[in-house]
Amino acid sequence: MFGVRACSALWGSRTVSRVQLLRTLSGMTVAQVGLHSIVYTCTITDLFNPMFCFVMQIDEEVAKLLQLKAKLGGDDGKIQFVLKTPKGTRDYNPKQMAIREKVFNTIVHCFKRHGAETIDTPVFELKETLTGKYGEDSKLIYDLKDQGGELLSLRYDLTVPFARYLAMNKITNIKRYHIAKVYRRDNPAMTRGRYREFYQCDFDIAGQYDAMIPDAECLKIVYEILSELDLGDFRIKVNDRRILDGMFAVCGVPDDKFRTICSTVDKLDKMPWEEVKKEMVNEKGLSEEAADQIGEYVSMQGGMDLAERLLQDPKMSQSKQACAGLTDVKLLFSYLQLFQITDKVVFDLSLARGLDYYTGVIYEALLTQAGVAPVVAEAQNGAPGSTEESVSVGSVAGGGRYDGLVGMFDPKGRKVPCVGVSIGIERIFSIMEQKAEACAEKIRTTEVQIMVASAQKNLLEERLRLVTELWNAGIKVQCICIFNPKLLSQLQHCEESGIPLVAILGEQELKDGVVKLRVVATREEVDISRGELVEEIKKRTL
């Protein structure tokens, strides 16, 4: 316990403030504090002594100061840093970046194959641009500290900035892709690819087109990307916001509760129906009868046949909104048949997607552990979710139609119909990283085609001349930046790095005007003339 002697000078005055005492204590070094400490014993009577209680309080404050001092640094004045990344973020090593680059290349190639061009927008937007676009998820937006200028927020997704871009530049027709980082103040689950800073890969079609053709192309893109990445079995859920709104209306949900009930339905992929219903009734104030009616509908899954059957449903047929949505879903499935992807697409009435800006078709792609879930018309028994189906391991893509978003930014309210999809790159990357680790796959982190090595000493200048020749010819080449490296260490570096070829220089090779070309995998060696070396490298590595 901190001793009385250390504070005796201050206790001599009744008017001494606690601040003065803390200043005295904080100015002491750790050694000084230890020097002035004494052991203080007390009796029961002391516990009722005001001075003793004051000493106890001082002791607690000293302990806090010492903890703070330990964090900031010792008596030598050196600051001690906590070396970690912020919560919900991570670093990526070269092997992880190689996997990411492969995924990005696959996605970009698909986007370009469908005729998309790319744009970029600022990482932060005016706060008012993002406010009111995300429903209950608006609380996850990162607001930046006011620096005496504009109120700004980090972008939550790439869709709202895209809509702002269209309105600001008066663009009414574009097919674009955008790959960039977004930020969400969410509870991260990093093992499942859920972060606070992450990439989104968006593809959107803006403009006036015939119904459901652009929507079907977006689903085709999701199908192509997930198939090319070979992540395992997947399925794509499809629904329509108009069907949801019509369903809520005929089930007795008040108009002012549509969006909040929609956000609750959106949790069905994470929570069982019993918990979703409990939230609807107890937290959202919905009647139990209305919740039960919603439960009957959200259990239904199928294809074009389900849309046809719901058009004949006594309740759903009363809603013009629902009928319009069901008619479009029928049309969508006819195009999906032409695109040959209906084997992976299911019409699922439980799909809600909580973002406020969706106005029509919505969709979400999920990977499954045990194959694609069978398409069933509806649950035969029990509550929604009681049908036997594959176990989902998470959403990897999602999107939908948002015809009114651009009009929210246009001064004259002019609307530009839009539909798009966002690929969940972080979750895909997590899965591919786990697969690479499981099969002990050797991943190359560079694209070096050949290493220039020397077999004898004092050949640094000759190595650099050859490296320059190859660089100038467009060959990806590397050499060890050491004056006299050992040949064995150079060859080992090639094996560890996956470099396929080695160009070995020695005094005899220089005299003969050749290079000894070594194939690392087979250890085969052959003499190649300097003039033919570039073509030989291209032939063996491209």
Annotated binding-site members for L-histidine: 157-159, 184, 200, 204, 353, 357-358
Round to whole Å and give the CA distance between 100 and 117.
21
The DSSP code for 314 is: T
Element (H, E) at 203: strand 197-206
DSSP 3-state assignment of 450? strand
Q: Which residue has the tokens 């695109």?
A: 339
Instruction: Give the Cα separation of 396 and 200 in Å (integer).
Output: 11
CB atoms within 10 A of CB 274: 11
Give burial (CB, 10 Å; 0-12/13-18/19+) of 251. Answer: buried
Q: Which helix (H) or strand (E) holds 182?
A: strand 174-183
HEC assignment per residue over 82-134: CCCCCCCCCCCCHHHHHHHHHHHHHHHHHHHHCCCEECCCCCEEEHHHHCCCC
| Contact indicator for 437, 209 with CB cutoff of 8 Å | no
- Residues 388 and 367: their CA atoms lie apart, in Å, by 16
Question: How far is residue 117 from each of residues 120, 362, 416, measured CA to CA in Å?
Answer: 11, 23, 18
Which of helix, strand or coil describes residue 5? helix
Cβ atoms of 357 and 160 within 8 Å: the answer is yes
Only one residue has tokens 């901190």, namely 2
What residue type is assigned to position 271 of the chain? M
Query: For residues 536 and 514, what is the distance between their CA atoms, to the nearest angstrom?
Result: 13
Q: Which residues are annotated as a binding site?
A: 157-159, 184, 200, 204, 353, 357-358
- Kindly tell me the burial class for residue 398, based on how many C-beta atoms sit within 10 Å of its own C-beta (0-12, 13-18, 19 or more): buried
**Pairing relation of β-strands 117-118 and 174-183?**
parallel
8 A C-beta contact, residue 479 and residue 489: no
Strand locations in 241-383, DSSP E? 301-302, 345-348, 361-368
- String of b and e for 158-185 (b: at least 16 CB within 10 Å)? bbbbbbbbbbeeebeebbbbbbbebbbe
Provide the 3-class DSSP secondary structure of residue 281: helix
